[in-house]
Amino acid sequence: MTTESLQPPDDTPDELRPRGGRSADIRSALQDEIESGRLPPGAPLDERALAARFEVSRTPVREALQQLAARDLVRIAPRQGVTVSRLSIGKVRAILEFIAELESLAAKLAARRVDSALAHQLDETLARCQDAAVNGGAAEYALANALFHEVIYAGSRNAYLAEQIRQSRRLIQRYRVKDFQTKPQIAKSLQDHLKVARAIQTGDETAAAQAMLLHVPVGGSGFSEFLATVPMHFFESESEG
């Protein structure tokens, strides 16, 4: 008997699927909604409503929520229920600082290891960003922006670094749902991309690192402008943290 024959088919009735499989599916769906911001920080999560939504008993829902709590994505408080975890402003700043340094290192390594293929890919993604800025909206530009950064991660030729950046970005994404909502935001991002790309293409490690460091809203007015896009109730107070 092959390994494949032991796996339940996709149309297996829910009540016949392993309980762990159901809780994992629910955890994955909720994690995606939390990380994307569709379930915002502080949003309540009701076990009964989730059980009805996923057409399961409350047991796999409870297991899924416990898994999310272990990942700091939800908070389970006695007599207060379950809510999507909120981060303090200080923690958000710390995560953005971490991302900025990692992204800066990726740009530096990409400049060090640039070749004709990477230079061409950067031009292609810049063109896509330009087209999205002129003809698209927030969603189109967000996708083009993600592809631009992915080209740099690949160009750094450091898979471990790239995965650390992706994990950190997923953690903070629910606080960045208002990125690229205005033309000035998109225009600034596009200008930053051009500076980063040209520095990488010319092999200027220092300029590439610095341009990328300035691209992430960490300090000064950049962080203040970022905070202005986020509802204050999304943040946990420092004392709560």
Local confidence band at 3 (pLDDT 50, 70, 90 cut-offs): very low
In a domain, 241, yes or no: no
- Domain around 154: 88-236
| 77 and 166 share one domain | no
One domain, residues 232 and 158: yes
* Least confident span in 15-29, 84-98, 162-176: 15-29
Looking at the structure, tell me whether residues 49 and 112 fall in a common domain. no
CATH of the domain at 97: 1.20.120.530
Looking at per-residue confidence, does 68 or 78 come out higher?
68
Residues 208 and 192 sit within 8 Å (Cβ to Cβ): no
Residue where one domain finishes, among candidates 32, 63, 85? 85
Same domain, yes or no: 75 and 153: no
Burial of residue 210, with CB atoms counted within 10 A of its CB: 0-12 exposed, 13-18 middle, 19 or more buried:
middle
Percent of the chain past pLDDT 90, that is, above it, reads 76
137 and 219 part of one domain:
yes
* Structure-token pair, residue 143: 């996708």
Mean pLDDT within 28-36: 96
Residues 130-135: what's their mean pLDDT?
96
pLDDT band at residue 237 using 50, 70 and 90 as cut-offs? confident
The pLDDT tens digits of the residues spanning 64-75 come to 999 999 999 999
Q: Give the HSE-up count for residue 8: Cα atoms under 13 Å, Cβ half-sphere.
A: 12
Which of 52, 85, 118 represents a domain boundary (last residue)? 85
Inside any domain, residue 119: yes
210 pLDDT band, cuts 50/70/90, is very high
Q: What is the pLDDT of residue 12?
A: 44
Pair of tokens at residue 193? 């991309």
Residues 41 and 106 in one domain: no
Structure confidence at residue 177 as a pLDDT band (50, 70, 90): confident
